[in-house]
Amino acid sequence: MRFYPLDKGKQVESIGDGADLNNQSFRETLITDLLRNSACRYPDKPALVFGDVRLTYSEIEQATNRFANVLLRSGFQRADRAVILLENSPAVVIAMLGAVKAGGVFSIVNPTTKAKRLAYIVDNCQARVLISDYSHTEMVQHIRTQSPCLQRVWLSKDSGQESDLAGPLFSSFEKDIAQASPVCPRPSCIDLDMAALIYTSGSTGRPKGVMLTHLNMVSATTSINTYLENTPDDIILNILPLSFDYGLYQILLAFQVGATVLLERSFGYPYSVIGRMIKEHVTGLPGAPTLFALLFRLNLGNHRFPALRYITNTGAALPPSFGRKLQELFPGVKIYSMYGLTECKRVSYLPPEELPRRPTSVGRAMPNVEVYIVDEQGNPVRPSQVGELVVRGSNVMRGYWGDQEGTAKVLRPGRYLGERELYTGDLFRMDEEGYLYFVARKDDMIKSRGELVSPKEIEDVLYELEGISEAKVVGVPDEVLGQAIKAVVTLHPGVSLSRRDILQHCAHHLESFKVPNIVKLVSALPKTASGKIALSA
């Protein structure tokens, strides 16, 4: 099944100017080079599997070339922004890389985003084009009337039924691609140019646009692939939304080495996904604690995963009990506990062989990254002292879009003349061997009875109690304590635990001032679009 037309006669020409198929020393300056190089090496190899659709590297290369030409023909110019509002699908990959090939910047927005937030993002980055689907036509049409910057909208049938286009400014994504040239336009970018804007939740309630250059993204991809040791033989299951940088980078990681991505929209039908995972011989499984909590609820006793080589975790620290359970569920599979943030993608990883020895660590700085920890005055602290983590590396963002004040708070003058370093806002400690241990977000620390308490420490203890599925600890105002410690937990199906059982467990493993004052049992915890637990005081 072909998702986009493949021009067999243009296969080599579509790779781009100056490509030498006999020269394996391909440069990787732009994120589109990752695709171009693999299309040169493995033109007929599956790059993306989505349901019944299997797209080769050559097909994706040509489809992205076609969309780049569609954009250029519409007046899209260098550094223009393209917002993508789509569920996980090949169309997202083609739209984002097509926008970059046209010299622009892409911003993928979660498809569950409401009109107010979408309108803010479109206005904030002054997006010139929007790529969405027919199910969002009404909302997009409304935003178009409110946002004069938006000059063109493409609608894809990927996520819904095609219907009549809503006016002259709307076009069919698939039809326009089919009619465009598959020959790549001459690159107009350098690696210092922006490639992506990733919007995160801001402390003010307004999304912050993280500006990532080609250099940032290629550097991060190279460093991560270095320690994951991905090869063309790898098949990576991606359940994560592509609007989440963790999900987005699975595409870049695979394209850099010529691997295959098995793309899914969600984990809504877990046994179906598990079946595809086995059938497609998946070797890599990226996830987060919320995904692993769902896995632990499944009956996987009769399932075998002989091809699975590694599992990665980030988005939230991996509770030690989860590490043990994953090793029991997937014996012999490498478990990578990692830490990162959107502003620099990835910071550290724990070598799998260290997980049994250091179950609470997120490892050491990844290749081509340096880290250190500072106190409130910005002075480096001694080993085992808690302070704020600072990151140096070419993966560190350019800044926040249109927010000089916010940028200045986190990108500060560095150790060496003329550079800026990222102050993460996360509290860590580092041992004598350079291994990092996450303590808490600075803003999440709880001050109770005059003592500072890390929510993560309590959450790790809660996860040790058999029967608890998910846990979140927050501080709530209290006249006597300053802040009371509130634990909100969900239980595995069929498990019966009382508040008293949970408090006794905590009292056995924690100092008295760290034992929760409030325990609330709920059926489900709220999640962000990326799968993180979202619960505040």
pLDDT category of residue 159 using cuts at 50, 70 and 90: low
Give the model's pLDDT for residue 17. Answer: 36
- Decide if 295 contacts 285 (C-beta within 8 A): no
54-69 CB burial, b ≥16 within 10 A, e <16 = bbbbbbbbbbbbbbbb
End-to-end CA distance of the chain: 50
| Between residues 488 and 184, the one the model is more confident about | 488
Task: Let me know if 9 is exposed, middle or buried by CB neighbors in 10 A (0-12, 13-18, 19+).
Answer: exposed
Distance CA 211, CA 485 (A): 36
pLDDT category of residue 322 using cuts at 50, 70 and 90: very high
Do 298 and 329 sit in the same domain of this protein? Answer: yes
- Decide if 403 contacts 208 (C-beta within 8 A): yes
Look up residue 236 and give its two tokens: 């990576």
Give the model's pLDDT for residue 537. Answer: 59
Residues in a beta bridge with 429: 437
Average of per-residue pLDDT across 26-30? 84
Look up residue 33 and give its two tokens: 């080079």
The answer for residues whose C-beta is within 8 angstroms of residue 413's C-beta and 6 or more apart is 419, 420, 421
For residue 533, what is the DSSP state?
A: B
The answer for residues whose C-beta is within 8 angstroms of residue 301's C-beta and 6 or more apart is none
The answer for residues whose C-beta is within 8 angstroms of residue 500's C-beta and 6 or more apart is none
Q: Quick count: other Cβ atoms within 10 Å of Cβ 377?
A: 6
Look up residue 60 and give its two tokens: 């994706």
Give the model's pLDDT for residue 21. Answer: 34
Give the model's pLDDT for residue 168. Answer: 67
Distance CA 361, CA 379 (A): 23
How many alpha carbons fall within 13 Å on the CB side of residue 528?
17
Distance CA 530, CA 396 (A): 21
Look up residue 261 and give its two tokens: 């991505």
How many alpha carbons fall within 13 Å on the CB side of residue 245?
26
Do 149 and 247 sit in the same domain of this protein? Answer: no
Read off the CATH number of the domain in which 513 is found: 3.30.300.30
Tell me the percentage of the chain whose pLDDT exceeds 90.
73
Distance CA 451, CA 447 (A): 5
For residue 343, what is the DSSP state?
A: T
Do 416 and 474 sit in the same domain of this protein? Answer: no
- Decide if 459 contacts 319 (C-beta within 8 A): yes
Return the ∠ at Cα 324 (arms to 370 and 291), rounded to 5°.
80
3-class state of residue 507 by DSSP: helix
Average of per-residue pLDDT across 391-400? 98
pLDDT category of residue 185 using cuts at 50, 70 and 90: confident
Do 428 and 495 sit in the same domain of this protein? Answer: no
Do 271 and 327 sit in the same domain of this protein? Answer: yes
Out of 133, 155, 189, a domain closes at 189
Give the model's pLDDT for residue 15. Answer: 35
3-class state of residue 212 by DSSP: strand
For residue 431, what is the DSSP state?
A: -
Do 396 and 489 sit in the same domain of this protein? Answer: no
pLDDT category of residue 26 using cuts at 50, 70 and 90: low
Q: Which of 138, 132, 133, 75 is nearest to 104 (CA)?
A: 75
Tell me whether residue 532 is in a domain.
no
| Between residues 307 and 533, the one the model is more confident about | 307
Read off the CATH number of the domain in which 222 is found: 3.40.50.12780
**The dihedral sign for the CA sequence 87, 33, 190, 390:** positive
For residue 317, what is the DSSP state?
A: P
Residue 10 pLDDT more than 50? no
Q: How many domains does the chain have?
A: 3
Q: Three-state secondary structure along 352-379?
A: HHHCCCCCCCCEEECCCEEEEEECCCCC
C-alpha pair distances (Å), 414 with each of 364, 370, 430, 436: 20, 12, 20, 20
Whole-prediction pTM: 0.87
Distance CA 340, CA 348 (A): 7
Tell me whether residue 207 is in a domain.
no
Instruction: Give the model confidence (pLDDT) of 103-114 as tens digits.
Output: 999 999 999 888
Read off the CATH number of the domain in which 117 is found: 3.40.50.980
- Characterise 243 by phi-psi region: left (phi > 0), alpha (psi -120 to 50), beta (else): alpha
3-class state of residue 117 by DSSP: helix
Average of per-residue pLDDT across 236-260? 97
Give the model's pLDDT for residue 20. Answer: 41
Q: Which of 136, 177, 135, 171 is nearest to 154 (CA)?
A: 171
Distance CA 108, CA 243 (A): 5
**Rounded-to-10 torsion of CA 342, 243, 203, 426:** -30
Give the model's pLDDT for residue 18. Answer: 34
Give the model's pLDDT for residue 169. Answer: 80
Tell me whether residue 238 is in a domain.
yes
pLDDT category of residue 450 using cuts at 50, 70 and 90: confident
Instruction: Give the model confidence (pLDDT) of 481-510 as tens digits.
Output: 889 999 999 999 999 999 999 999 999 999
Q: How many residues comprise the chain?
A: 537
Residues in a beta bridge with 152: 129
Out of 401, 419, 440, a domain closes at 440
Do 176 and 280 sit in the same domain of this protein? Answer: no
DSSP 436-500: EEEEEEGGG-EEETTEEE-HHHHHHHHHTSTTEEEEEEEEEEETTTEEEEEEEEEE-TT----HH
Look up residue 380 and give its two tokens: 């480096």
Do 454 and 435 sit in the same domain of this protein? Answer: no
**The dihedral sign for the CA sequence 288, 291, 296, 301:** negative
Do 369 and 226 sit in the same domain of this protein? Answer: yes
Provide the residue range defining the domain that includes 509.
449-521
Do 31 and 118 sit in the same domain of this protein? Answer: yes
Do 178 and 293 sit in the same domain of this protein? Answer: no
Tell me whether residue 198 is in a domain.
no
Distance CA 484, CA 515 (A): 10
* Minimum mean pLDDT range among 160-174, 345-359, 380-394: 160-174
- Characterise 79 by phi-psi region: left (phi > 0), alpha (psi -120 to 50), beta (else): left
Tell me whether residue 400 is in a domain.
yes
For residue 96, what is the DSSP state?
A: H
Residue 22 pLDDT more than 70? no
pLDDT category of residue 480 using cuts at 50, 70 and 90: confident
**Average pLDDT of the chain, as a whole number:** 90
Tell me whether residue 179 is in a domain.
yes
Give the model's pLDDT for residue 402. Answer: 95
Tell me whether residue 199 is in a domain.
no
Average of per-residue pLDDT across 202-226? 90
Give the model's pLDDT for residue 47. Answer: 98
- Decide if 196 contacts 105 (C-beta within 8 A): yes
- Decide if 149 contacts 82 (C-beta within 8 A): no
Average of per-residue pLDDT across 22-31? 70
Tell me whether residue 306 is in a domain.
yes
Q: Quick count: other Cβ atoms within 10 Å of Cβ 50?
A: 20
Do 435 and 468 sit in the same domain of this protein? Answer: no
471 φ, ψ (degrees, to nearest 5): -145, 145
Instruction: Give the model confidence (pLDDT) of 200-212 as tens digits.
Output: 875 556 889 999 9
